[in-house]
Amino acid sequence: MKYGYARVSTIHQDLEVQLRQLEKENCDQIFSEKFTGTNKKRPEFQKLIGMLQERDTLVVTKLDRFARSTQDALEIIKDLFERNIKVHVLNMSVIENTATGRLIFTTFSAFAEFERDMIVERTQEGKMLAKQNPDFREGRPKKFSKQQIFHALSLLENHSYKQVEDMTGISVSTLVRAKKKSKAEKITTKVSI
């Protein structure tokens, strides 16, 4: 049988392109997940690897979907070759269980790991540069200003959480967190006085 595997690293990324490529390759069954490749314990991938039998083919669109580190990729490919399972990386071709096939696979795995490391390095450099800006705030930007939150909290004195959410667009969970934070700040202020 021919099994496909598609993976993206975050829930915000889309699997559609990979799934279409695997369908085009006539995979009998396709496994997919949104899970970081740096984690070896990818549940769908582990399930797929456990199902593969002799003469099956594992199809992935790119090498970095298969494994992110060269060491991990070599361990997986060695296991698959020992079990007489073929590996087809669409942007590379079928990886043969020959000296040349293993050399090519090792080389491409090293380049995939290098590319990932370069992305991480560039991201860290960008973050360090951004942190030099005094207005830098790590994480997602706040959707609502302090004034908007304060106004919504004042509305809670005469309205329900749901009514305030409808009036301001600020979710109930955000309102609850803001109210708890406001109470904690008031307690801290009283204690320090």
- φ, ψ of residue 55 in degrees (nearest 5): 75, 0
Q: What is the mean pLDDT of the chain?
A: 84
Per-residue pLDDT, 193? 53
Tell me the pLDDT tens digit for each residue of 148-174.
Answer: 999 999 999 899 999 999 999 999 999
3-state secondary structure of 26: coil
- φ, ψ of residue 95 in degrees (nearest 5): -90, 115
> What single DSSP character describes residue 68?
S
Per-residue pLDDT, 28? 95
Residue whose entry in the numeric block shows the structure tokens 């708890």: 180
* 140-155 mean pLDDT: 87
Q: Exposed (0-12), middle (13-18) or buried (19+): which is 55, by Cβ within 10 Å?
A: exposed
Tell me the pLDDT tens digit for each residue of 8-36.
Answer: 877 778 889 999 999 999 999 999 998 77
Q: Name the band, by pLDDT with cuts 50, 70 and 90, for residue 37.
A: low
Active site residues: 9
Q: Name the band, by pLDDT with cuts 50, 70 and 90, for residue 98.
A: confident
Q: Name the band, by pLDDT with cuts 50, 70 and 90, for residue 103.
A: confident
Question: E strands, the chain, where?
Answer: 2-8, 29-34, 57-60, 86-89, 93-95
Tell me the pLDDT tens digit for each residue of 77-92.
Answer: 888 988 999 889 888 7
Q: Name the band, by pLDDT with cuts 50, 70 and 90, for residue 191.
A: low
